[in-house]
Structure 1
Amino acid sequence: MSNAKHAPTVHGLFIDGREVPAETPELLDVINPATGELLAQISQASDADVDRAVRSSHAAFESAEWAGMSNRTRAKLINKLADVFEAHLDEMYQLETANNGRSLNETRAQISRLPDFFRYNAGLAIARRDSVIPVDGNYLNYTLRTPIGVVGNSTPFNHPLMIMVKSLAPVLASGCTTVVKPSEYTPLTTLRLAQLFVEAGLPPGCFNVVTGLGPTTGKALAQHPMLAKWVLTGGTEAGRITGALAGNNFAHQTLELGGKTPVLVFDDFDVEQAVNYAAFGAFIGAGQTCICGSRQIVHERVYDEFVERLADKARTIRIGNPSDPSVQLGPVVSARQQQRVLNYVRIGLEEDKARLVAGGKVPADPALKNGFFVEPTVFADVTPRMRIFQEEVFGPFVSVSKFSTEAEAIAMANDSPFGLAGAIRTKDVTRAHRVAARLRCGIVWINDHHRLDPASPWGGVKDSGIGRECGTESFDQHFETKSVMVRLDDAPFDWYKDTAKQSRLN
């Protein structure tokens, strides 16, 4: 039996309904983060490649095949895409797990819900209605909504399919088209989905994919003058840079950026359940989520018990190769990300002088030495002035802080440049709603975490971005609204003959 390794699959760009070579032969390696092995190679799209992809999507947007499609026909097609996606879920679980290192069970639980994002938006395509507006005088005023055009979308490595689908579903259901630049770390499921959708009947050019690095390919896409909208999920600095580029062309924008989610644990809530939610919120996806429950703000009466139990819980989480169904925590996505997390452990110990109560190291298991693993890490006695309280780590890393009053807890929660999500643990219904109203963020979970729905708006405030994904809010952002004013009076009109008799100008 031969032990020879097969050459990695080389992927081109996906433009106009087919895989095409990039302008230059330069390739980027895609690494399996659990093993450090070469998984595939992808093309590095040039400015000219990006231009080709955007122009292809623009041509598709204006084509009779797509622009002339009725809402009901388009909705039927979007539902068909959902069915095709669902039929290939097992393939997608396996591919995404190998690509981004998230455990197979987590990936399955997340991706299995994604076809419903298409079905929900297909429903909105059928249900949408334009307005008739009552106005003074003998006039009929109504609105027409028209799709905005080509949407550029830069997606991150942590949830490649889910985050892409949150944009793709309303884009296609509204009649827009898109060019997606997936993370160079995790492009494989995006490329595969584009292929599947074209095979299922999506017109070529409606969903193009360009691969490459953010500072080159991503920049070329963000600043392209033919984009009607720019969507990015990523770091706050990337949002500032690309948002300015897209803003120069007056493109609409949805930016879902960094986060430092506060979790307020009150003393009337069961401590064991609070710890279970804390572990879930902090360590799912190896902590690589913008909504990671990374700041646990705990009432002083249950603080010591909470810290001890959370440290114990962190030590029980099974770390390993994410393709093993028994594994609960996979690697972070890259060696660079691993070093980032370990550097924040050093900051917590040496600069902040916080108390490390669990993790903080690379696992000792020699079977994991080639992967990018970090133990689930818990710091206690963290105060708002510490860097590990304020800065996003993006790994399996959580801090625990103490509060004594509700007002203090809210002040600590809001003491952050970020405002994506927050969470509350309490059995007091009045308190839950009162505190939720005072948290400065776009999403709040009460006695839960990480939950979303195709119908529920998703997005942040402050340095966590602008705009909303999901819900009618996202769908409606893919249209321009045109006001049509119809005069219903046949009486002759001549302003300059009868100026003195005119009763209105506007």
Structure 2
Amino acid sequence: MTDTIAASADASSTPDATTREIIDPATGAVIATVPEEGADGVDAAVAKARAAFEGGPWPALPRSARARLLLRIADAIENDSERLYTLEAHNNGRPITETRAQLSRVPEWFRYNAGLLAAQRLAVLPGDGPYLTYQQRLPLGVCGIITPFNHPLLILARSLSAALANGNTVVVKPSEMTPLTTLALAEILADAGLPDGVLNVVTGGRPAGERLTRHPDVAKITLTGGTEAGRAAALATAARFARVTAELGGKTPVVMFDDVDPGIAAEGAAFAAFVAAGQSCVAGSRFLVQRGIYEPFVDALAARARAIRVGDPSLPETQMGPLISARQRDKVLGLIETGPAEGARIAAGGGVPELSERLRGGYFLEPTVIADATMEMTVAQEEIFGPVAVVIPFDTEADAVAMANENRYGLGAGVWTTDVARAHRVAANIVAGMVWINDHHRLEPSLPWGGVKKSGTGKDAGTESFDDFSWIKSIVVRTAADHVDWYGDADQRRLN
């Protein structure tokens, strides 16, 4: 049965809006319908957010009161967590065990940014003469957040909590494929006491996203998506001198040195490559393996890939779910085919698994290991965004660093070694915004998240993100008892 899900009390809806069917990627069945908003819907949402910013209580609310509400929101999310886990797993196909592990951390971002707000200390600046100079931080205004399909709620919470803590109002445009937990979160925040108009959700596709990035009343855009979408957002915001944070593509190198047990290395590689069905910008996708352990590593990783339980995301025993859409699966299959065509070897997977009749309409793909690749191959250069691990041998540390950096992306990287000095040395020389040593995918609210090169600009999370949702005003106060008469007879030594 198909449910019709309204876009919440704070979501925009226009009289002529069409609707979009939301698909369960595990079955191909329609599970909901939502309004398909375009430019008119975005304009209405931005107008509501601007009115809430200019005339509502939120920006002027005492900092302690905003912090308390963010803490109340965190508690409310925890109290409704089982519904959110189930809804997101149903919507984007990520196994319920993975989804529970990820979304259980969402409240941390609201608590972290509430803490930053409560503990924020503003600068008093030194200067010569009888002057007191101090700073204020003020909210930007209306902020737009555009989120992807792969981690819709976590990525939203990362930016939303920082935007709200600073007193901004927000318009969110979730992926048109995975809006359901965003709509549910909007309801949770409203019930927790967030004032009307502070959070607005627009459900729609590219036209809605493009209008949001170009809207003259939007002071900052935070976007997680593809490189072309990020470039378009950067150009649109630059035209009006608005801010932009863009987390974009990745082709994460993971360097495996031969002092690591190949079985242990394969365990780490499987997690890096196949969690979230590889649909993550920091998924381990290029495994650079030193020749001393190359063959046993490939064998161990292939065995791990074949043992992963692919199936129904709602079952706790499932270890990998489907890709988000038929189009994405076809794209990944096409990229896999370039491997053997260019001289690589399929060591595991490479096709569509045989599953139950109920799941045959879903978008499943076998966990795949492509071995004997080289850096020139398509699979070594292109972001695949699916459960595909590409394995490439190397000889020396210098070779590994050069190969890791031989790509247009620079989001994440991994280094596996028992040599502490080498671990730090190699991590320092890899060009990436984040480097994990002997692990992968780890994140904290305090960890600035973002890349370099074509992986984007700016940071999500951490104090960097918190501060970027405000602007600084400097105030200079003359404290001397006398007055200044520049054009009088007194000897003036400074033009101030």
The normalised TM-score by structure 1 is: 0.96
Correspondence for 2:323: 332
Deviations 1:299-327 (A, max 9, x none): 01000110111111100001101111111
SS of structure 2 residue aligned to 1:65: coil
Give the letter for the 1:13 counterpart.
Answer: A
Correspondence for 1:409: 400
Q: Give the whole-Å Cα distance in 1 for the aligned partners of 2:233 and 2:36.
A: 19
1:149 aligned to 2:141?
A: yes
Give the letter for the 1:281 counterpart.
Answer: A
Correspondence for 1:3: none
Correspondence for 1:421: 412
Give the letter for the 1:158 counterpart.
Answer: N
Q: Give the whole-Å Cα distance in 2 for the aligned partners of 1:21 and 1:291.
A: 35
1:103 aligned to 2:98?
A: no
1:190 to 182, 202, 208: 182
Q: Which moved more, 1:418-427 or 1:136-145?
A: 136-145
Identify if the C-alpha distance between structure 1 residues 275 and 474 changes in structure 2 by more than 3 Å, giving closer, same or farther.
Answer: same
CA contact (8 A) 2:11 2:202 kept: no
Deviations 1:61-87 (A, max 9, x none): 223421221011111100000000000
Give the letter for the 2:132 counterpart.
Answer: L
1:67 aligned to 2:56?
A: no
Q: Give the whole-Å Cα distance in 2 for the aligned partners of 1:457 and 1:272.
A: 31
Correspondence for 1:387: 378
SS of structure 1 residue aligned to 2:58: helix
Correspondence for 1:13: 7
Deviations 1:70-114 (A, max 9, x none): 011111100000000000000001000000000010000000011
Deviations 1:208-248 (A, max 9, x none): 0001112x110111100111100100011110112211221
1:463 aligned to 2:444?
A: no
1:128 to 120, 124, 129: 120
Residue 502 of structure 1 and its aligned partner are, at CA, apart by 1.7
SS of structure 2 residue aligned to 1:191: helix
Q: Give the whole-Å Cα distance in 2 for the aligned partners of 1:72 and 1:370.
A: 51
SS of structure 2 residue aligned to 1:343: helix
CA contact (8 A) 1:23 1:46 kept: no
1:355 aligned to 2:345?
A: yes
SS of structure 2 residue aligned to 1:66: coil
CA contact (8 A) 1:24 1:46 kept: no
SS of structure 2 residue aligned to 1:445: strand
Correspondence for 1:263: 254
Q: Give the whole-Å Cα distance in 2 for the aligned partners of 1:298 and 1:13.
A: 48
Q: Give the whole-Å Cα distance in 2 for the aligned partners of 1:383 and 1:141.
A: 58
CA contact (8 A) 1:147 1:480 kept: yes
1:364 to 347, 354, 358: 354
CA contact (8 A) 2:12 2:44 kept: no
Percent identity of paired positions between Structure 1 and Structure 2 = 50
1:309 aligned to 2:300?
A: yes
Give the letter for the 1:355 counterpart.
Answer: R
Q: Give the whole-Å Cα distance in 2 for the aligned partners of 1:317 and 1:77.
A: 42
Give the letter for the 1:209 counterpart.
Answer: V
Q: Which moved more, 1:443-452 or 1:485-494?
A: 485-494
CA contact (8 A) 1:440 1:461 kept: yes
CA contact (8 A) 1:140 1:488 kept: yes
Give the letter for the 1:127 counterpart.
Answer: A
1:88 aligned to 2:88?
A: no
CA contact (8 A) 2:60 2:167 kept: no
Q: Give the whole-Å Cα distance in 1 for the aligned partners of 2:350 and 2:292.
A: 27
CA contact (8 A) 1:13 1:22 kept: no
Q: Give the whole-Å Cα distance in 1 for the aligned partners of 2:11 and 2:282.
A: 34
Correspondence for 1:476: 467
CA contact (8 A) 1:23 1:49 kept: no
In structure 2, list runs of 5 or more residues that go unmatched.
none
Residue 366 of structure 1 and its aligned partner are, at CA, apart by 4.6
Q: Give the whole-Å Cα distance in 1 for the aligned partners of 2:135 and 2:489.
A: 31
Correspondence for 2:173: 181
Correspondence for 1:54: 46
CA contact (8 A) 1:264 1:298 kept: yes
1:322 aligned to 2:313?
A: yes
SS of structure 2 residue aligned to 1:294: strand
SS of structure 2 residue aligned to 1:180: strand
CA contact (8 A) 2:371 2:391 kept: yes
Q: Give the whole-Å Cα distance in 1 for the aligned partners of 2:198 and 2:31.
A: 28
The normalised TM-score by structure 2 is: 0.98
Correspondence for 2:108: 116
Q: Give the whole-Å Cα distance in 1 for the aligned partners of 2:140 and 2:11.
A: 26
Correspondence for 1:436: 427
Q: Give the whole-Å Cα distance in 2 for the aligned partners of 1:344 and 1:272.
A: 27
Q: Give the whole-Å Cα distance in 2 for the aligned partners of 1:20 and 1:199.
A: 18
CA contact (8 A) 1:13 1:45 kept: no
Residue 386 of structure 1 and its aligned partner are, at CA, apart by 0.9
Correspondence for 1:375: 366
Correspondence for 2:222: 231
Residue 22 of structure 1 and its aligned partner are, at CA, apart by 2.7
Q: Give the whole-Å Cα distance in 2 for the aligned partners of 1:57 and 1:381.
A: 53
1:297 aligned to 2:288?
A: yes
> Alignment length, in residue pairs?
495
CA contact (8 A) 2:12 2:42 kept: no
Q: Give the whole-Å Cα distance in 1 for the aligned partners of 2:133 and 2:183.
A: 44
Correspondence for 1:79: 71
Identify if the C-alpha distance between structure 1 residues 113 and 490 changes in structure 2 by more than 3 Å, giving closer, same or farther.
Answer: same
Residue 20 of structure 1 and its aligned partner are, at CA, apart by 5.5
Residue 496 of structure 1 and its aligned partner are, at CA, apart by 2.4
